[in-house]
């Protein structure tokens, strides 16, 4: 724990000059299989005329304002989170597994002490007091660094529905989103209890494979064609980046006027303009960060067009974590990597 805290402080120290510079400048692979062979489909739903398969237990999550609407308790095992954003703002749903600290289960009430620290820190950073802002993080409870980020659905734009399947262990969880409105983190969270169950142990079946790591960035060697895909995202490693969080994968629909540099800088919460709504692009889900060795499954119906995968990290392009690609009707889909 002490080591982690020291590392955290060192990272803050190293990171402050980067923030100041930034402020000055900008003030494992699954197996291929046909869907007909899936054993775990329990329910199907029609989304834009396509049936999305469900793997394991289906948990429907809805946002209608600054809220998460979902059951208070779900069974453990493979779980498909289908997240409908019916609000006017971009959100995501990150699944935090709360730790047991000194023999005591950390609760939702304990968790609620964290967002105000980030809000106060960001206020100071936004007013140019970066050093004071980062000093605020000393107020974080020590167990903050034992929270396990356990996947979830990536950024989802207003009016969109996205679906991601992850394995959830029994435990006490919080679902959260820390996108900003008016420069302030929402905050937006809900307690979720996961009870031990053995009904959902069959892993999803993927049609495409992706890996993400510090060394290779986002790697996806098969070009997706238009249609329904379940993409296995393997977290080959996981370590905090400059913003103290690990890497994740978000799907972006690119338009002719999309500015990839603007998108890249938006992906860093510590940038005063980062993660602030409205988002500069349309987000179509993805997976939140998971510990090394885990695999999340993104199920998406891809229409022809231009897209990007992007991680919510500072400077994603330099880390090969902003990858453009084209989805075509024919065999000519291609993966790109740095289109301007």
Query: Shortest Cβ distance from residue 54 to Cu ion (Å)?
Result: 24
Window 180 to 199, contacts with Cu ion (CB under 5 A): 186, 188
Query: Shortest Cβ distance from residue 67 to Cu ion (Å)?
Result: 9
Window 78 to 97, contacts with Cu ion (CB under 5 A): 91
Q: Do 220 and 300 meet the contact criterion of CB atoms below 8 Å apart?
A: no
Tell me which of 12, 19, 58, 179 binds Cu ion, using CB under 5 A: 179
Assigned token pair, 191: 């307690």
Q: Count interface residues toward Cu ion (CB under 5 A).
A: 5
Across the strands, what pairs with 82? Answer: 60, 163
Q: Which is nearer to Cu ion, 200 or 269 (CB)?
A: 269
Place of tokens 């690609």: 325
Query: Shortest Cβ distance from residue 275 to Cu ion (Å)?
Result: 9
Using DSSP, state whether 96 is helix, strand or coil. strand
Assigned token pair, 269: 């919460």
Query: Shortest Cβ distance from residue 87 to Cu ion (Å)?
Result: 8
Q: Do 294 and 235 meet the contact criterion of CB atoms below 8 Å apart?
A: yes
Q: Which is nearer to Cu ion, 91 or 243 (CB)?
A: 91
Q: Which is nearer to Cu ion, 150 or 213 (CB)?
A: 150
Window 239 to 258, contacts with Cu ion (CB under 5 A): none
- Give the max Cα distance, the chain: 57
Q: Which is nearer to Cu ion, 162 or 188 (CB)?
A: 188
* Pick from 88, 147, 158: nearest CA to 288: 147
Residue 162 interacts with Cu ion (CB under 5 A)?
no
Rounded to 5°, the CA angle 111-198-200 comes to: 85
Residues that bind Cu ion (CB under 5 A): 91, 177, 179, 186, 188
């Amino acid at each position: 724990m002490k080591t982690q805290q020291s590392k955290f402080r060192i990272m803050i120290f190293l990171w402050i000059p980067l923030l100041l510079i930034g402020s000055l400048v900008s003030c494992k692979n699954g197996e291929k299989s046909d869907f007909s062979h899936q054993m775990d489909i329990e329910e199907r739903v029609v989304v834009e005329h396509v049936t999305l398969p469900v793997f394991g237990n289906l948990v429907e999550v809805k946002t209608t304002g600054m809220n998460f609407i979902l059951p208070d308790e779900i069974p453990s095992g493979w779980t498909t989170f289908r997240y409908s954003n019916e609000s006017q703002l971009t959100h995501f749903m990150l699944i935090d597994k709360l730790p047991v600290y000194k023999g005591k289960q950390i609760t939702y009430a304990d968790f609620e002490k964290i967002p105000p620290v980030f809000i106060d820190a960001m206020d100071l950073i936004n007013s140019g007091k970066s050093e004071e802002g980062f000093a605020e993080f000393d107020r974080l409870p020590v167990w903050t660094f034992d929270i396990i980020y356990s996947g979830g659905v990536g950024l989802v734009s207003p009016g969109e529905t996205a679906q991601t399947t992850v394995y959830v262990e029994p435990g006490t969880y919080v679902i959260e989103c820390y996108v900003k409105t008016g420069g302030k983190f929402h905050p937006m969270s809900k307690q979720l209890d996961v009870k031990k169950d053995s009904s959902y142990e069959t892993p999803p079946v993927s049609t495409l494979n992706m890996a993400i790591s510090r060394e290779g960035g986002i790697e996806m060697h098969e070009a997706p064609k238009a249609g329904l895909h379940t993409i296995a995202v393997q977290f080959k490693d996981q370590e905090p980046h400059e913003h103290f969080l690990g890497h994740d994968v978000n799907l972006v629909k690119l338009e002719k006027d999309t500015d990839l540099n603007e998108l890249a800088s938006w992906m860093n919460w510590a940038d005063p303009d980062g993660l602030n709504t409205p988002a500069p692009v349309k987000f179509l889900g993805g997976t939140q960060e998971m510990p090394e060795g885990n695999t999340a499954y993104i199920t998406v119906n891809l229409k022809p067009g231009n897209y990007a995968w992007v991680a919510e990290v500072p400077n994603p392009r330099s880390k090969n974590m902003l990858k453009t690609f084209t989805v075509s009707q024919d065999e000519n889909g291609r993966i790109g990597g740095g289109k301007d």
